[in-house]
Amino acid sequence: MLKKVAYLCLQATKQGQASYAHVNEIIDGLRRNGVEVQLFEPANAEKSLQPGIGKRLFDAFWVQFRLIWHIRTFDLLYIRGHFLAFPASIAARLFRVPQVREVNGPYEDIHQIYPWTRPIAPLIRGLSRLQNRLAGTIITVTPEMAKWCKEDCGHASVEVVPNGANLDIFHAEAHAPSAPLDAYAIFFGAFSPWQGIDVMLKAVEHPEWPSNVCLLLAGDGLERPKVESAANRNERVRYLGTIPYRELPGFVAPALVGLCVKDDGGTHTSTGWSPLKLYEMMATGIPVVVTDLPGQREIVEKSRSGLVIQPGDPAELARAVASLASNPALAKEMGSRGLLEVRENHSWARRANDTLGILQETFRRARSA
């Protein structure tokens, strides 16, 4: 019986980022089901300053050294995909500890976040494929990603566990005392190159954006200077900084609309998206505007919980926000349908149960081999 799991996450999780919610929600769910989980992640997880390359490499290998030292005390190793996790993956194979690897995106993602890695792209692909092949099971967040993994490394056991929302904290009654009283659209999460930051900032300045609606952005990342600059010159753009996970719903629930307008430059066209923020927005009962990309388009169209626009089009985004602002009854209906969809199908409790079943089956197969 699966009793003790080591969870390895080499990308330090920080509040305000999707990885923080995903890692901690899955761990909490496993613990509620009686599994002892120990998280191994870099010590700089909650520090505000970004460490340099040398410090990141040291932290990545040091945390794995601590894990490997105790690896035989665990029933299973869960790895949140990272190309530098190969020492732990190899050690797990040597000591016959079954392992599950979570894959959240194609190899190209890392080059967009860290351009300095482009010269070592072949090394990153090689180390990632090695870990995929050593894993007893691969978990992905979309069917398209599962298909990509099977084709890329020939792995037979690939499961799909999409993202979800914590219904205990993301709900329609959530309210932060400091939330604006006027109407606003909201975006939150990592300010990554594919999140459509430029599109949102241009849309606010478009003539068709409603004059009485502001744009609130919460989070941090590479695109933060653009957000801060826009907030300084345009009073309708407001930057909230990083909001703690449990305080965030208080800013989301009062919003007119939630924005998930990714423009991924093609990296996820074939592997799909499962945006955590989309489920969290829907869980608060607000309508959403998403771009026409696989993974997010289907859930919004199926539940009729918002509007779907083309990626990279500020004018269409401005018109979508204006449409919802001018039709509050329609916006309320969309929000209610989205809330129902998340309650029925996309809670983190359900995701944790799905994950536990996969871990137990991987453990069982390994023990019977």
Strand partners, 241: 218
What is the CATH code for 184-345? 3.40.50.2000
Comparison of pLDDT for 50 and 295, the residue scoring more: 295
Domain boundaries of the chain, sorted by first residue: 4-164+347-368, 184-345
Instruction: At 55, list the tokens.
Output: 């410090």
Measure the CA–CA gap between 283 and 171, rounded to whole angstroms. Answer: 6
Q: Return d(Cα 161, Cα 25) in angstroms, integer.
A: 13
pLDDT over threshold 70, residue 264: no
288-291 and 4-9 strand pairing:
unpaired
Give the Cα separation of 276 and 240 in Å (integer). 19
- The CATH number of the domain covering residues in 4-164+347-368: 3.40.50.2000
Judged against a pLDDT cut of 80, whether residue 111 lies above it is answered with no
- Greater pLDDT, 44 or 60: 60
Among all chains, which residue has been given the structure tokens 């392992």? Answer: 99
Specify the amino acid at residue 322.
A
For residue 15, what pLDDT is reported? 79
Q: pLDDT band at 131, cuts 50/70/90? A: very high
The tens digit of pLDDT for each residue in 186-206 reads 999 989 888 999 999 999 999
